[in-house]
Structure formats: structure tokens, C-alpha cells
Amino acid sequence: MSGLAKRLRLSHYFSLGFGTMVGVGWLVVMDDWLRRGGPMGGLLGFLIGGAALLPIGYVYGQLVRMMPDAAGEVAYTAKVFSRGTSFATGWVMFLTYLIVCPWEAIAIGRIASYLVPALNSIELYRLGSEPVYLPNLVLGLALTAVFTAVNYRGIQLSATFQNWATFGVLALIGVVIVAGVRHGSVANFSPAFNGSGPLSVLLMLQVVPYFMTGFESVSKSSEEANADFDPAHFYRAIVLAIVVGVGFYMAVIAAVTYIAPWQTLVHERFATAVAFERAVGARWVVNLIMIAALLSLLKILNGCFVAASRLLFALGRRQLVDTRAGRIHPVFQTPSLAVVVVGVATGLAVFLGSAILVPVTEVAAVTVAVGWMSACASYLHLHPTRIGRIAAVLGLIVTIAMVLMKVVPGIPGSFTAYEWLALGLWGVVGFAVRKKPAETVPRQA
């Protein structure tokens, strides 16, 4: 279908799926997770949320096998719905990936400043109560520039880095957990919930979609599979990413709670690192955690950068936005202009600082649910097998519930005016850049 380079194998797709999913939330917002649900609320939130995503993973596995298209949800909805629906779906999914890029670029400053406190100096301005420091801003911009260059030059370099970073993070966190659990106690799990059990689980379920976003990114690079790639591996990579991702999050929450009374961590910056340092009584464990976090940050930034640029490329190729976004570099075989646009947008968002971290989580939890819902609805219209119909219906139920939890007023943790404003502004931008059908047919001389 395209001139994109064909380089990816099963391990690359797993690394892209898992790597785009698991970033540094387990370190940066562990305190928020414990405030929301307590230890059991966090564990059950990820367990229930992860299990609920398996039918959606099945749907994606079948769709990407049928339609290996970088457009992902845009291609799936275009089969059965209107052009407008197809664009709207692609536009909200583009936001899902794009919004994560500055999240990670900003988070690197927070992590680095834990190791080098002097980085939190030379305050430039504040957004809300959050200061923006010059060294952190420079780090975020430099990181954005590096990944823009890496993705501009080719998918092989990007995917190889993703593999090393993914398996490196898993190994480092394994070492940290083994070192820490020798110093803990089951008594630290009490009380199991922060408030009532059902409410604790509900508050966690509201953000789980954001932290599980990424398995579906496999579809965005499906056109770049190696020539001898077995299409069944798409589904295997997606399911493996979901299962390993859920296991990873649950293992970290359980380990943190086991080694320290969780109530003492809910107001701690980098609660995960604080818990392990207190338990082990040594700085080396914190250094390992920070190295793992930096690797994790880099891989999720890279994974979301790949997904966002491929989706924008596909929107341009389908003439839903400016067709220049669909250009392929003649030498590197990458969607070069789409990569540059994602890089510039990420760099601009970095100026917003850490004030956007939690609101980003809330908005992306809805946008990704809308994308998943559209994929399930599309698959249901394509007359799948009985198992496929069941999976699609379950996926629709799950994703509708995910959206309602955030948009229905009165539900604890639902959208505030700021989240609605962010979605509204994104809709305005989408209306401005969308190409009308008449624009897609050039006039003949």
C-alpha cells in the first residue's frame, strides 16, 4: 500500500505495544493511584480493567490482520461508517498518542531533578501552582528533538531502541522488586481501600484506560511488517502486551504497598522510589528505579511518537487532512513531514510544564475509549464469527462504560470544565484542519 520500510517482527510489535503502554506512571503518579483506590483499589482496578480490555484486544487483532493499514481506526470505521465519523475517530485517537508525548518529555525533568535537585532552579513562570524551570524545559525540548530525529531517519532504529528499552525496564524492575520484598509486611496493605471499596475501584477504573493505552498502537505500524511476517502475530503481540502490562502495574503496586504503609506515601513525590529507599535503606535501589523510569519514559515517548506520526500520515494519505502529511521520505522511507509535525507539537506542549500531567491522564482516558469503541463497532458491522461478535459486543459495553464514567456529571472523578475545554479546543482544531470532500478531487486543467 505504501513505500514505508518493511522491517518489523513479532518482538518489535510486542515492544511497541507494551512500550507505548507502560511509561513512568508507576513512578510519577503512584501517589495519585493510592489516593484514588488504596492498594486493593489499585490492584483490582488494573485487574478488572485489563481483563475488560481482552475482548477489545481480540477485535484489534482481527482487524489489523484483515486491514494492515497505518490508519488503524480510520481505516476500520471507513469500511462501514461515514467519512466524517472516520475522520473524527482518527482525530481523537491522534490526540490520544500525541498528548502522551509531552507528558513523557515533561516527566523526564521531574525524574532527573530527583537525582539532581539543582535542576529545579531558574523558575521561568508558573501554570497554576506548578513552576516551570529552565533546566527541565531544556531537557524536555532536547528529548523531543532527539526522538524527532530518530523517527525521521527510520523505523528500524526506532524499533531496535524500543526492544532494548522494553526488556531493559522489565529486567531492572524485576531486580528492584526482589530486593525490596524481603523487607515488607502484609500488614501494610491495611486498610485495603481508601474509602469504600466500590468507589475506590471506580476511581481507579477511570484512569486505567489511559495507562493501558498502547496495545492498539500495533495497528499504526502494521504496514511496516517484515515480508515474511505471519499476520497472526499481530494478535499475539496485542494480547501479550495487555497481559504483561497488567502484570507489570499490579506487581509494582503490590510491591510498593508490601514494603511501606501506603498511607505514608499518598503525599510523597515519586512514592515508588520513596517506598523502596525506606525499605532497603540504600540509595542504589533508588538509582535503579530512576534508570528504569528513564528507560521506560524513553520507550513510551518513542512508541507514542511512532503511533502519532503514522496516524497523521494515514490521515494525510486518505486526504482527510492536508495531503502533505502523507508524504514519505524518498531515502529513509518514513512519514517525514508527519514526524516533524508531531515533534513540533510536542515541543510546544512541553512549555505547559507538569501542570498538564494529571489532566492529560483524564482526557486521554476518554479519547482512547472512543477509539476502541469505534473499532469494536466497525468490527461488529463486518459480520465476524460468533466469537468475534461476542468480543465486539463486550468491547462496546466496556468502552461505553469507560466514556460514561468520565462524562456524566455527578459521577466521582468525572470531567471538570478544564477537561471539557481541552476536548472542545481539540475539536475546533480538527474542524479547522479537516479537508472537505470537494477538496480531495483536484480540478483537471
SS3 322: coil
pTM for this one? 0.86
Q: Is the pLDDT of residue 355 over 80?
A: no
Three-state DSSP string of 376-433: HHHHHHCCCCHHHHHHHHHHHHHHHHHHHHHHCCCCCCCCCHHHHHHHHHHHHHHHHH
Sign of CA dihedral 325, 329, 332, 333: positive
Q: Is the pLDDT of residue 84 over 80?
A: yes
Dihedral over alpha carbons 387, 391, 397, 400 (to 10 degrees): -140
Amino acid present at 53: L
The average confidence (pLDDT) of the chain is: 88
Measured distance CA(31)–CA(269) in Å, rounded: 7
Q: In which band, very low, low, confident or very high, does the pLDDT at 444 lie, cut at 50, 70 and 90?
A: very low
Measured distance CA(83)–CA(87) in Å, rounded: 6
pLDDT recorded at residue 129: 77
Above pLDDT 70, what percent of the chain?
A: 96
Supply 338's cell numbers.
508527519
pLDDT recorded at residue 294: 87
Q: At 20, which helix (H) or strand (E)?
A: helix 10-21
pLDDT recorded at residue 443: 41
Q: Which domains does the chain have, with CATH numbers?
A: 10-433 (1.20.1740.10)
**Residues 6 or more apart from 112 whose CB is under 8 A from it?**
119, 136, 139, 294
Q: Span 117-123, mean pLDDT?
A: 86
Q: Is the pLDDT of residue 445 over 60?
A: no
Which one has a higher pLDDT value, 351 or 360?
A: 351
SS3 282: coil
pLDDT recorded at residue 360: 67
